[in-house]
Amino acid sequence: TAARTLALIKPSVAANPHLVDTVRARVRAEGFAVKAERVVQWNLDDARRFYRQHEGRFFYKRLCGYMASGPFVAMILEKENAISDWRKLIGPTRSIAARLESGSLRGDMAVSDTRNAFHGSDSVNSAREEIEMFFPEESTAG
Ligand code: CMP
């Protein structure tokens, strides 16, 4: 059965419309349906709230600065095993590891461990929460 995940195309990639088109084409080629899409611009407080579980980590400040540095793209992706398949397609968080996963989106587009170009929900619960956060009108509750 079809499942949903939240995908973010982070500011370093979203700044380049040609790269965003390349990602969209890849997403469709891998069998995902894009159920909703919007462009988001965060301020620092928005970023701090979304990444609050990383507060205190050495990369928290630069992560929040990165996510507030410009517009990014949020998408609801649907397919069987959407959560794990999207995370597999984007590849590992760390850029060196991502580069070793040939064909992974981060391997192609990440520029550092922080500026890692993509996000994917890590569980059914976080997918539900994150979809609700970016697309309240798409809530599947009820
Ligand atoms: P994401 O997995 O979407 O959410 C947490 C983010 O923190 C992650 O992407 C990276 O942008 C950043 N991050 C995670 N681990 C590190 C790290 N070791 N060094 C720098 N940034 C990191």
Extract the runs of DSSP E, i.e. beta strands, from the chain. 3-9, 33-40, 72-79, 118-120
State residue 140's pLDDT score.
62
Q: Which CATH number does the domain housing residue 8 bear?
A: 3.30.70.141
Q: Is residue 85 part of a domain?
A: yes
Q: What is the mean pLDDT of each run of 10 residues along the chain (142 residues)?
A: 96 97 98 98 97 97 98 98 98 96 96 98 96 89 49
pLDDT of residue 1: 86
Domain-embedded: residue 142: no
Query: Separation of 142 CA from ligand 1 center, angstroms?
Result: 33
| Cβ contacts of 31 within 8 Å, gap of 6 or more | 79, 85
**Helix, strand and coil percent figures for the chain, each rounded to 5:** 50, 20, 35
Query: Which one of the listed residues 119, 127, 130, 131 is annotated catalytic?
Result: 119
Provide the number of structural domains found in the chain. Answer: 1
Residue range(s) defining the domain that contains residue 52 = 3-137
CA of 37 to the centre of ligand 1 (A): 23
Atom 19 of ligand 1, nearest CA residue: 113
119 catalytic? Reply is yes
Answer yes or no: is the C-beta of 121 below 6 A from any ligand 1 atom.
no
* Residue 9 within any structural domain of the chain: yes
